[in-house]
Chains A and B, each alone.
Chain A
Amino acid sequence: MSKRQLAMVMDLNKCIGCQTCTVACKTQWTNRNGREYMYWNNVETYPGTGYPKNWMDLGGGFDAAGDLQEGVIPHIEADYGVPWDYNFEDLAKGQQLTPNIEPTWGPNWDEDQGAGDFPNDNYFFYIPRICNHCTNPGCLSSCPRDAIFKRDQDGVVLVDLDRCQGYRYCIAGCPYKKIYFNPKISKSEKCILCFPRIEQGLPPACAQQCVGRIRFVGFLDDEESQVHKLVYKYKVALPLNAHKGTGPNVYYIPPTEAPPKFDANGNVIEGSNRIPHEELEKLFGTEVHAAIKTVKDEMQKRKETGKSELMDLLIAYQHSEMFRLDHNYYKSLENSKLAPLDNRYIKGKNTQKISYFKAGE
């Protein structure tokens, strides 16, 4: 466990699935040098197969006793999808637009399909996913090289690329499949929570660019932070698949708002909600019912009295009300090095010239 912990809250009521976050992340980090297939941030449709395909069934994480569980490394062609490109340049010569490979699978292959019978009770919602920067990360625990560490100053989980030897146990160990193998460098890579931006007091690219303004970023122990209020004060933001035992630090406000269902004659069923609460319980645990009630009650309160701190928070009038990052905090830490969880290597005991992950210095 780190001394402090950064967290992100995503309000699923407001996510429109536009993938601006995905593109922000991709252009910042993953459109090159073996990372082309990776989506450190993706937005998937629920119910759906997700990215990589059926990631929830691929193992990893911990059981109730705290033992790391076996997992599977997804296959790039069958599960992630091989990135393809089009011959845009040839269009001017009068040729047909064709992909450079025959696509067989990709992220969002089943986007917007959802479940249920159209138009009566079909439904879906979006879940944006990044690395959860877990308190007890499955990836870190499964690394036989101790190459993955959690930063003490903010709990960001990083791969020490000098120590990583590309064994890929981390991919099996992550229950969210949010760490990826880069074949070009034969090492694992993952979301870094844009720590170079965070250290400058800027939110991660995905949060900054979010047009729905669904993402809140801050320190969990900062009582003034939006994330603290949403997670601890109102308890409306819940971790995804918390039963996997990793202590995820990305929290979701469950989708409380959905259109009503239609009956057989096409008439609105008053008071009905298309999104079954049992499905939300699968993702967010039994706490989801209390969270939904709190959001509904506060909405009602806002309607009646015009006042609700929670609603004001969730509306997120401007960026300054969504992110509480602290450039000065990082500035004060400038002289302390990144601390791996196990500090046996800090002194360079075995060789004098071990080079550590340099970016944070």
Chain B
Amino acid sequence: MKKLFNSMLLSSAFAISALASSSITVYSVSDDIANIGVKDKQWQNAKEFEILLYPQTTITLNDKNANEINAHNKATKAFVKAVSDGKNIAFKLRWADKTKSIQSSNAFGNTEFADGFAVQFASNYSDPKKLPYIGMGSKDRPVVVYLQKAIEKHFEPNGNGDVETQVNRNNTYAFNSSINTDLENFDAEVEKQALQKYQKAFVSEGFRSMTEIKDDTSKFNSEMNYCSHWFSQNEWEGVIVRSLNDEYATFSKEPFPVAFALWDGEKMGRDGLKNLSTWVVAQFEGIKTQTNFKNEVDYDLPQANIENGESLTKMHCGSCHNYAQTNEAASSYMAPNLSNIGGYSTTPYLIESILEPSAVVVAGYNTNAHSNFAWYYLDENGNRTSAMPAFDYLTQEELNDIVAYLKTLKEEVK
């Protein structure tokens, strides 16, 4: 009887995980979608896929209030649609958020944070076993990220070389409204230069290296819209559309990996204070591909012994890594926290990280922040050697057990 109960539990667990997709179908549409918005009719025939996003707990930053608010975050769901018109590819996300958090540009806004979302693509995905690190890529494995945040129109003086227009509007010598209209002209100029929306594209090879693409070499568009429902949860809808080909990433007919991130402004979300998905495979509608790409990007290890994996993890990993509310590591700054590693990592990534820790090195903290706990060593050519030794002496079985256990390390879905 007990066995039956267990297997029932197991199958219900499967039923839950089966709802969340590890792949998305990109539907073909005939209309031009270069400027597609959240309400456009091109979305009508695209099926919606449920994606789980887990709280980023790899590193904890230094904002005390934010850390307290976010200490017990759960995984969240986003519902994703994808369409392509042959020239552009668009993703639409829908996610529940009971408060609309806008970061205003007025003087009172210094502790306001914005809701937002991002879509991440791997620049090179020819080898599904060597995808970029999920947290904004890794060295020599760049990603391109499109971000929109609910930040009000703001004026960014730098980058345009327009510092000289930053004059004091109270300066009655410069702005004597009874004599001239300089103040009105100045206001018009600021209005013209102000960024209307916080929409940005970045290239990145791991956190701290994220660099904004400001030269229009990656054409994209995005939109965010908050929907208040009296009958159900309030939610955001967001769209990001980019061209299928540019110098940062190219998509043809082959399936490709994509990842999503969400920020909750009410919880002071920004930067790493976010929920993010694992690499999800997007496949074009109706196109049969030769490769088994989807199953190579991520797969389960059904033969593995998770209990054995747990004790092996404790033995081999626990002295440096914290995970699953265990804090046995020498220091919380010693190594990436693995508490949600199962939520946002793929099986090949975990295997690679254990066997070849220097293949993908998580950039971690600013090197000055916790200087006693370097996660990597730099040589004169900028190559990073991970502080973690290679665990290549593990047997295949032990390795699978550990990875299978690590894949269970993730928060519940809210």
Scan B354-374; emit 1 where CB is below 8 A from any A CB, else 0: 000000000001111111100
A140 touches B64 (CB 8 A): no
Chain A facing B: main interface SS:
loop
Residues of B within 8 A of A360 (CB): none
Stretch from A104-112, A165-173, A266-274 that touches the partner: A165-173
Point out the residue from B64, B107, B167, B366 that lies within 8 Å of A144, measured CB to CB: B366
Q: A82-B108, A144-B272, A181-B110 are in contact. Are A162 and B158 (CB under 8 A)?
A: yes
B366 touches A69 (CB 8 A): no
B64 touches A184 (CB 8 A): no
Name the distance in Å between A2's Cβ and chain B's nearest Cβ. Answer: 13
Point out the residue from A34, A71, A357 that lies within 8 Å of B158, measured CB to CB: A357
- The residue among A31, A67, A183, A345 with the most chain B CB atoms within 10 A of its own CB is A183
Alpha-carbon separation in the docked complex, A357 to B157 (Å): 11
Name the distance in Å between A78's Cβ and chain B's nearest Cβ. Answer: 9
Point out the residue from A36, A69, A73, A349 that lies within 8 Å of B107, measured CB to CB: A36
Scan B309-335; emit 1 where CB is below 8 A from any A CB, else 0: 000000000000000000000010100
Scan A22-48; emit 1 where CB is below 8 A from any B CB, else 0: 000001000111101100000000000
A33 touches B111 (CB 8 A): no
Is B271 on the interface with A (CB-CB < 8 A)? Answer: yes
Q: A68-B370, A162-B212 are in contact. Are A142 and B155 (CB under 8 A)?
A: no
A353 touches B62 (CB 8 A): no
Is B79 on the interface with A (CB-CB < 8 A)? Answer: no
Chain A contact patch, size range = 35 or more
- Give residues 358-408 of B contacting A (CB, 8 Å): 365-372, 382
Q: What is the interface size of chain B, counting residues whose CB is below 8 A from a CB of the partner?
A: 59
Is B67 on the interface with A (CB-CB < 8 A)? Answer: yes
Residues of B within 8 A of A359 (CB): 163
B215 touches A353 (CB 8 A): yes
A72 touches B64 (CB 8 A): yes
Is B209 on the interface with A (CB-CB < 8 A)? Answer: yes
Q: Considering the complex, give the chain A residue whose CB is closest to the CB of B368.
A: A141
B166 touches A169 (CB 8 A): no
B208 touches A167 (CB 8 A): no
Q: Considering the complex, give the chain A residue whose CB is closest to the CB of B60.
A: A70
Residues of B within 8 A of A31 (CB): 168, 170
B110 touches A167 (CB 8 A): no
Alpha-carbon separation in the docked complex, A163 to B372 (Å): 26
Point out the residue from A75, A140, A168, A350 that lies within 8 Å of B209, measured CB to CB: A350
Residues of A within 8 A of B286 (CB): none
Point out the residue from B64, B155, B168, B198 that lies within 8 Å of A70, measured CB to CB: B64
Is A103 on the interface with B (CB-CB < 8 A)? Answer: no
Residues of A within 8 A of B272 (CB): 144
Is B154 on the interface with A (CB-CB < 8 A)? Answer: yes
Q: Considering the complex, give the chain A residue whose CB is closest to the CB of B190.
A: A33
A144 touches B208 (CB 8 A): yes
Is A186 on the interface with B (CB-CB < 8 A)? Answer: yes
Scan B161-200; emit 1 where CB is below 8 A from any A CB, else 0: 1010011111000000000000000000000000000100
Is B106 on the interface with A (CB-CB < 8 A)? Answer: yes
Scan A80-102; emit 1 where CB is below 8 A from any B CB, else 0: 10110000000000000000000
Alpha-carbon separation in the docked complex, A31 to B271 (Å): 29
Is A76 on the interface with B (CB-CB < 8 A)? Answer: yes
Residues of A within 8 A of B203 (CB): 350-351
Q: Considering the complex, give the chain A residue whose CB is closest to the CB of B367.
A: A342
A350 touches B205 (CB 8 A): yes
Point out the residue from A32, A70, A142 that lies within 8 Å of B366, measured CB to CB: A142
A183 touches B106 (CB 8 A): yes
Is B156 on the interface with A (CB-CB < 8 A)? Answer: yes
- The residue among B111, B333, B367 with the most chain A CB atoms within 10 A of its own CB is B111
A183 touches B104 (CB 8 A): yes
Alpha-carbon separation in the docked complex, A134 to B286 (Å): 60
Is B65 on the interface with A (CB-CB < 8 A)? Answer: yes
B214 touches A355 (CB 8 A): yes
A145 touches B61 (CB 8 A): no
Point out the residue from A36, A144, A162, A183 that lies within 8 Å of B159, measured CB to CB: A162
Alpha-carbon separation in the docked complex, A262 to B95 (Å): 69
Is A116 on the interface with B (CB-CB < 8 A)? Answer: no
B154 touches A185 (CB 8 A): yes
Q: Considering the complex, give the chain A residue whose CB is closest to the CB of B161.
A: A358
Q: Considering the complex, give the chain B residue whose CB is closest to the CB of A345.
A: B211
Alpha-carbon separation in the docked complex, A166 to B110 (Å): 10
Alpha-carbon separation in the docked complex, A196 to B249 (Å): 41
Q: Considering the complex, give the chain A residue whose CB is closest to the CB of B333.
A: A67
Name the distance in Å between A302's Cβ and chain B's nearest Cβ. Answer: 43
A70 touches B382 (CB 8 A): no
A75 touches B111 (CB 8 A): yes
Name the distance in Å between A172's Cβ and chain B's nearest Cβ. Answer: 5
Point out the residue from A33, A37, A68, A163 that lies within 8 Å of B155, measured CB to CB: A33
- The residue among B64, B103, B170 with the most chain A CB atoms within 10 A of its own CB is B64
- 16 residue pairs of the A-B complex, CB under 8 angstroms, read A31-B170, A34-B105, A36-B107, A37-B107, A37-B110, A73-B63, A76-B110, A137-B368, A144-B272, A162-B158, A183-B106, A184-B106, A186-B105, A187-B156, A349-B205, A350-B209
A residues near B (Cβ < 8 Å) are: 27, 31-34, 36-37, 59-60, 65-77, 80, 82-83, 136-137, 140-146, 161-163, 165-169, 172-173, 180-181, 183-187, 341-342, 344-345, 349-355, 357-359
Q: Which 6 A-B pairs have the closest CB atoms?
A: A183-B109, A161-B158, A141-B368, A70-B64, A353-B215, A141-B369
